[in-house]
């Protein structure tokens, strides 16, 4: 039996490949990262303020500006 993968691939149901990995909560390094609030990544860079404050507003405003300019340019009466 084949199952759909999350990235569009196919995985056999009895595949020897480990699909999910449960975190080892006995690992002191992981526990320290979770205590610092950095358990969402493995590189040590927090998402705030780098992504959330600086990048997302630029992307959102750029999308709105592009859509507005596109509609103004191709405005057909």
Phi, then psi, of 12 in degrees rounded to 5: -70, 145
pLDDT of the residue at 45: 65
Domain ranges of the chain: 1-43, 47-77
What CA–CA distance (Å, rounded) separates 40 from 47? 9
Reported as a single tens digit per residue, the pLDDT across 8-64 is: 455 556 666 656 677 788 989 878 877 776 655 556 666 667 677 788 888 999 999
Give the predicted TM-score (pTM) of the model: 0.38
Q: Are 35 and 46 in contact (CB under 8 A)?
A: no
């Amino acid at each position: 039996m084949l199952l759909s993968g999350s990235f569009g691939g196919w995985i056999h149901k009895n595949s020897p490949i480990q699909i999910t990995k449960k975190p080892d909560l006995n690992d002191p390094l992981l526990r320290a990262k979770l205590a610092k609030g950095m358990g969402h990544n493995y590189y040590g860079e927090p998402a705030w303020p780098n992504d959330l404050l600086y990048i997302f507003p630029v992307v959102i405003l750029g999308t709105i500006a592009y859509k507005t300019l596109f509609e103004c340019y191709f405005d057909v009466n």
